[in-house]
Amino acid sequence: MIKNKKILVVGAGGFIAGHLIKELIKNGNFITATDIKPKEYWFQDFDTAKNFYSTDMKDIDNCRKVTDNIDYVFNMACNMGGMGFIENNKAECMQSVLINTNLLIACKEKGVKKYFFSSSACAYNKKKQEDVFIKGLKEDDAYPADPEDGYGWEKLFSERMCRHFMEDYGIQVRIARYHNIYGPYGTYDGGREKAPAALCRKVLNAKKNNNKIEVWGDGMQTRTFLYIDDCIEGTLRLFESDYSDPVNIGSDEQVSINQMIEIIENISGIKKLERIYQLDKPKGVRGRSSNNDLAKKILKWSYKIKLKNGLKKTYDWISSEVNKQGSNLSRFTKS
């Protein structure tokens, strides 16, 4: 475990970073945290961390200001969301390249020792994800390059930028390809939410209202989803490993969206909802799944939390948030 280090977390107000900071603080690290969102929109609050900056890290001067006397950097920042957001905001998504690039330059200037980049399964070649059930994507399947348009290209390019900063300037880099991370303290409404949170919210609404659920696509598309606690453990193990190429951080419990809805219906205790399939909504790739052989081998790590257990925790959390918010949008809408 990383202990007593000075760590900068960029994108600290977001979902994964919030959980990461909590763990890093537990281990006695000193956190500097930045996010473009004002503090009231940060997904979690950390009473014990003192250095918070609401600042735009696309600007290199801001990167320089926060990298003084820092041992390690976790770049968890990007303008992103589920398919509903990334398919309709490609230019916004691609501008996150400025965060990673300027941050790396500042880290090089300030002599930061190690740098973590949060990449994504969207970096994988789309042509290898055209069937409903695909074999797990291995790290090499990102090439030949043909990633998700916009967001995926930014991730793939930034992975390479990290690699070249390591080769040319000696900064140690660690790169995770996250496969649809979900759990409490994530976005569940407003347009950026990913399928697990969106479908928990929709089942809750259907239960209160008309027993109908709107599903994007035909529901047969598949994914593997990873619960946030497993994600944090995998992330920290990767950070402490000596492996500098991208590594999948995912589960191998591949389910269709229809199967996931059934799991959520069981959690909520209602009978089968009427499905309204919306074929014109953003669907992304047809099938995606994570091959985790590399993570098992080099990190001695595999996911522990089964989808039905992770969804139960997520559903319960969203349910209590929705009760608090009433019909207002939550603060978790800002990503």
217 binds ligand GDD (CB under 6 A): yes
What is the residue whose two structure tokens read 């453990």?
233
Peptide bond preceding 282: is omega within 30 degrees of 0, i.e. cis? no
Annotation marks residue 151 as catalytic: yes
Q: Which of the residues 151, 178, 227, 315 is marked catalytic?
A: 151
- Which CB atom, from 155 or from 312, has the smaller least distance to ligand GDD? 155
Residues 92-121 binding ligand GDD (CB under 6 A) are 120-121
- Which CB atom, from 277 or from 317, has the smaller least distance to ligand GDD? 277
Chosen residue from 72, 216, 227, 332 binding ligand GDD by CB under 6 A: 216
CA-to-CA separations, 131 to 136, 149, 223, 310, in angstroms, rounded: 12, 18, 11, 26
- Which CB atom, from 43 or from 72, has the smaller least distance to ligand GDD? 43
Chosen residue from 13, 82, 186, 234 binding ligand GDD by CB under 6 A: 82
- Which CB atom, from 24 or from 215, has the smaller least distance to ligand GDD? 215
**Rounded to whole angstroms, how far apart are CA atoms 284 and 105?**
33
275 binds ligand GDD (CB under 6 A): no
User: Token pair of 287, please?
Assistant: 């099938």
**Residue closest to ligand GDD (Cβ):** 82
Residues 62-81 binding ligand GDD (CB under 6 A) are 80
Chosen residue from 29, 89, 221, 289 binding ligand GDD by CB under 6 A: 221
213 binds ligand GDD (CB under 6 A): no
Burial status of residue 297 (CB atoms within 10 A of its CB: 0-12, 13-18, 19 or more): exposed
CB of 93 to ligand GDD, least distance (A): 8
- Which CB atom, from 26 or from 281, has the smaller least distance to ligand GDD? 281
What is the total count of residues that contact ligand GDD (CB under 6 A)? 27
Chosen residue from 20, 21, 70, 86 binding ligand GDD by CB under 6 A: 86
CB of 227 to ligand GDD, least distance (A): 14
CB of 155 to ligand GDD, least distance (A): 7
184 binds ligand GDD (CB under 6 A): no
CB of 201 to ligand GDD, least distance (A): 8
Residues 147-176 binding ligand GDD (CB under 6 A) are 151
Chosen residue from 33, 175, 215, 236 binding ligand GDD by CB under 6 A: 215
Chosen residue from 75, 79, 180, 291 binding ligand GDD by CB under 6 A: 180
3-state secondary structure the chain: CCCCCEEEEECCCCHHHHHHHHHHHHCCCEEEEEECCCHHHCCCCCCCCCEEEECCCCCHHHHHHHCCCCCEEEECCCCCCCHHHHCCCHHHHHCCHHHHHHHHHHHHHHCCCEEEEEEEHHHCCHHHHCCCCCCCECHHHHCCCCCCCCHHHHHHHHHHHHHHHHHHHCCEEEEEEECCEECCCCCCCCCCCCHHHHHHHHHHHHHHCCCEEEEECCCCCEECCEEHHHHHHHHHHHHHCCCCCEEEECCCCCEEHHHHHHHHHHHHCCCCCEEEEECCCCCCCCECCECCHHHHHHHCCCCCCCHHHHHHHHHHHHHHHHHHHCCCCCHHHCC
Residues at the contact surface with ligand GDD, assessed by CB under 6 A? 80, 82-84, 86, 120-122, 151, 178-180, 193-195, 198-199, 215-217, 221, 223, 257, 281-284
Active site residues: 151
